[in-house]
Amino acid sequence: MTGTFYGIGVGPGDPELLTMKAVKAIREVDILIAPKTEKKDGSVALDIARPYLKEDVRIVYQVFPMVKAFEKDTTAWEANKKEILGFLHEGKNVGFLTLGDAMFFSTYIYVFRLLEKEGVPIETIPGIPAFIAMGSHLGWPIVEGDDVLSVIPATADTEKIRRVAQVSDNVVLMKVYKNFPEMADLLEEEGMAGNAVMVSRCGLPDEERIDDIMARKDRPVNYLSTILARRTRA
């Protein structure tokens, strides 16, 4: 009998923000896949889930190259898929841990696409994205009334980001770690920098809140950083 593959969103960082369904899956699977990068040891997603691990669960670390290289070289991805399929065909239930929500800017999406063609049972369990947790944590309404909200990856073309921001009342900027100075300048030019906040490593012990993004723009920011910005209400 083939096991089930679970994609488990573990939320932004606070273990208490995992859903009951996520905790149930973590406690019941035989194997947990903990994704990591080539450059860093350990797994943030695993650290978040750690309070709920059963004693005999097997932890398997898998290295995933940056997604931009996915189409150029799928070797690592195919090797990871083969390992996961091996576990499933042994009848093991496998959980794949991913930060935030499993279907929102996550490595899991690419694994899901590889496995959905293989005819194995898959269940995806949602988690809380960082920007949603930020809104509640900071007392910052993300969108209300007839406001238009745009969620934008800062890695997109700058002019495309600008066009979207110009027709938005509220903006969530994800992936700002690479070009934070450019994003800060763009928000300033669009009249939103004065009403913006950035949080790095939301929900983790070393969480950092930056209220003045222009004053901070020339300093490096953490990979797990998100900006909330909105237009000043009349």
Q: In DSSP terms, which residues pair with 31 in a beta bridge?
A: 58, 94
pLDDT given for residue 89 in this prediction: 96
Region 156-165 average pLDDT: 96
- Distance between CA atoms of 85 and 184, rounded to whole angstroms? 44
Q: What SS3 state is found at 32?
A: strand
Region 126-138 average pLDDT: 96
Fold classified for 130-230:
3.30.950
| pLDDT above 90: residue 50 | yes
| pLDDT above 60: residue 234 | no
| pLDDT confidence band for 58 (50 / 70 / 90) | very high
User: How much of the chain exceeds pLDDT 70, in percent?
Assistant: 94
Domain edges within the chain = 5-125, 130-230
Region 159-168 average pLDDT: 96
| pLDDT confidence band for 39 (50 / 70 / 90) | low
Tell me the per-residue pLDDT of 172-216, one tens digit each, with 9 for 90 and over.
Answer: 999 999 899 999 999 999 999 999 999 999 999 999 999 999 998
Q: What SS3 state is found at 202?
A: coil
| pLDDT confidence band for 57 (50 / 70 / 90) | very high
pLDDT given for residue 74 in this prediction: 77
- Angle in degrees, 0-180, between the axes of helices 75-89 and 107-115, rounded to the nearest 10: 60
Region 217-233 average pLDDT: 89
- Distance between CA atoms of 190 and 13, rounded to whole angstroms? 31
| pLDDT above 80: residue 73 | no
The CATH number that domain 5-125 falls under is 3.40.1010.10
Q: Which two tokens stand for residue 139?
A: 């007392």
Region 96-109 average pLDDT: 95
| pLDDT above 80: residue 33 | yes
Region 8-29 average pLDDT: 97
Region 61-86 average pLDDT: 79
The string of DSSP codes covering 128-148 is: --HHHHHHHHHT-----TT--
CB-CB neighbours of 204 under 10 Å = 16
Region 34-55 average pLDDT: 86
H/E stretch holding 209:
strand 208-210
pLDDT given for residue 1 in this prediction: 83
In degrees rounded to 5, what are phi and psi of residue 171?
A: -130, 135
Q: What is the mean pLDDT of the chain?
A: 92
> Is there a contact between 213 and 198 (Cβ–Cβ < 8 Å)?
yes
Q: Which two tokens stand for residue 123?
A: 């269940």
